[in-house]
Amino acid sequence: MKKEVKKVQITPRRRFFTNIAQSASLGVMGGLIWAGYAEKAKGSTLTLRPPAALEEKDFLRTCIKCGLCAEACLHRESNIDKETLQPRPATLKMAQAQDKATLGTPYFIPTQVPCYMCEDIPCVPVCPTGALDVSSVTNEQNELDFSMMDMGLAVVDPNSCIAFWGIQCDACYRACPLLDEAITLEYGRNERTGKHAFLKPIINMDICTGCGLCEKACVTEKPAIFIQPRELALGKPGDHYVKGWDEKDQKRVASQTGKDMTTRTQRSEEKVTDYLNEEVSYD
């Protein structure tokens, strides 16, 4: 004997409350997805930008995510593979949702494809908004100059760089397009063996462009030399420390209006013999 199945009648009232519950659930789920998406879209402080990019906050305000720089990078004449005669992967990528860079903005990862420092710097002049400032890579002769690029700064980890162990390696030095300028090799005697020499890579922060060719060339499993945005790679001494012999450094603090660091304190008026070997208050 078949059991009779009761059909539940869905009234307009029941349908109304069911729709509300479903909408609320979808709203919460959508909010969670969007929160994760927005978090990804913020990017990372380690993001490396194209040559001549403005400071990060100004760059993000100015870049319209048009992709013209990445397009120019991909289709540059020097990007043709000599064997296949096809374009190689471009240095610049446009950030997608899963990337650790602000969504839709150009960036690059040196271990994948470094910047090859093209002489005509094709990615910069095509920028329609000035997010890539062409004047910052233009020399006094009004010519584009790839040595004026500034994408970041190479940093060497002496703990994992095998040159600091005494093993001869100059891969990063040879890969650098500004040979013997941005990276130099510092000779030192290996006291441990007494026979071998250290040839340690030293970065010249005023010349390094942050192209990443050294990072790509590094022979260690995880590169012992890597590129970081300059503001992260460098410390900051503060305006009250000045290189008196450096004219540029003096200009850095020309507008300083804070405390006069040259004012002599009461203690500095005293002679050494006035407080030597006596109880002194350092307040």
Q: What is the 3-state secondary structure (H, E, C) of 56-106?
A: HHHHHHHCCCCCHHHHHHHCCHHHECCCCCCECCCCCEECCCCCCCCCCCE
Q: The whole model's pTM is what?
A: 0.72
Residue pLDDT tens, the chain, 283 long: 555 555 555 566 666 656 676 666 666 555 544 445 545 555 577 899 999 999 999 999 999 999 999 999 999 988 888 788 888 899 999 999 888 899 999 999 999 999 999 999 999 999 999 999 999 999 999 999 999 999 999 999 999 999 999 888 999 999 999 999 999 999 988 877 777 788 999 999 999 999 999 999 999 999 999 999 998 888 887 777 888 888 877 777 776 655 555 555 555 566 656 655 555 555 5
CA dist 149 and 210 (Å) reads 8
Instruction: Indicate if the alpha-carbon torsion angle 68, 47, 76, 134 is positive or negative.
Output: positive
**What pLDDT score was predicted for residue 34?**
46
Distance CA 165, CA 190 (A): 9
How many helices (H) and strands (E) the chain has is answered by 9, 6
Tokens of 131: 């997010």
- pLDDT at res. 243: 83
Give dist(CA 240, CA 258) in Å, integer: 9
Residue 196's pLDDT is: 77
Q: Do 193 and 232 touch, CB atoms closer than 8 A?
A: no
Q: How do 106-107 and 225-228 pair as beta strands?
A: unpaired
Domains annotated on the chain, with CATH:
36-149 (no CATH), 152-231 (3.30.70.20)
pLDDT of amino acid 7: 55
Which residues, other chains included, contact 166 with Cβ-Cβ below 8 Å and sequence gap of 6+? 190, 192, 193, 196, 197, 198
- Gyration radius from the chain CA atoms: 29
CA distances from 162 to 159, 199, 220 (A): 8, 10, 8
Q: Which tokens belong to 144?
A: 């584009």
What is the pLDDT, as a whole number, of residue 271?
64
pLDDT of amino acid 169: 94
Q: 236: which residues sit within 8 A by CB, 6+ positions away?
A: none
Per-residue model confidence as pLDDT tens digits over 40-51:
555 577 899 999
CA 71 from chain centre, in angstroms, equals 21
Per-residue confidence (pLDDT) for residue 25, from 0 to 100: 60
